[in-house]
Chain A
Amino acid sequence: DAKTTQPPSMDCAEGRAANLPCNHSTISGNEYVYWYRQIHSQGPQYIIHGLKNNETNEMASLIITEDRKSSTLILPHATLRDTAVYYCIVRVETGANNLFFGTGTRLTVIP
């Protein structure tokens, strides 16, 4: 059910921007792109979502390509507490609105 592809792992130096890519080439016109993260032994935490425009909030920025087939989550100044598994999910905003998780990207922020 997961319709996204992410690299299994990435490293980022503390204080630098972390850019996490996601491919969703089969995304439909009414599907949103969501990002969640999961820190060890905790439940997933919402980060950001978007439809076709770029979005920014206090946690991150989301850049969606014009054809919507891929996106990038940007953590502008990564800290050690950003070490987590990051999930990119596409979801239609009708019905149950289930989240179908893939295996995500394990981001390790290095001091």
Chain B
Amino acid sequence: DTGVSQDPRHKITKRGQNVTFRCDPISEHNRLYWYRQTLGQGPEFLTYFQNEAQLEKSRLLSDRFSAERPKGSFSTLEIQRTEQGDSAMYLCASRGNRGQQAFFGQGTRLTVV
């Protein structure tokens, strides 16, 4: 257990539905990252928060993807109008101001049917 928790661990949804995932980082970590990982590939960076500010979002895959971190603690990633190509593992990571290593959660596995 790294201290980063993600919920849910698994999500099956029908195409066209909206889904939201939650990430709770390590409590004192001010930096939070979202990644997507498809089968056989390494994690792909999506977006980054420092406290509540979303400082990098150009890598979000389309305008159907959005992320928030309203109070600088937990974060949510929403995918609207899901497509089968959105099926993947969505990973969250957090990092402290002084720490150099990022800690990853176990991920949320999304299956769009």
| Residues of A in contact with B (beta carbons under 8 Å apart) | 1-2, 32, 34, 41-46, 49, 85, 87, 93, 96-104
Contact = CB atoms under 8 A, between A and B. Distances in A.
Contacts of A93: 100
B2 A43 contact: yes
Interface of B: 2, 4, 31, 33, 35, 40-45, 48, 50, 55-56, 91, 93, 95, 100-107
A99 to B, nearest CB: 6
B103 to A, nearest CB: 7
A98 B45 contact: yes
Nearest to A32: B100
Interface-centre pick from A1, A85, A96 (highest chain B CB count, 10 A)? A96
Given A43-B2, A103-B40, A97 B31 contact: yes
Main secondary structure of the interface of A (DSSP, over half): loop
Contacts of B50: 96
Contacts of B4: 43
Contact of B42 (A34, A98, A103): A103
A91 to B, nearest CB: 9
Contact of B101 (A43, A46, A87): A46
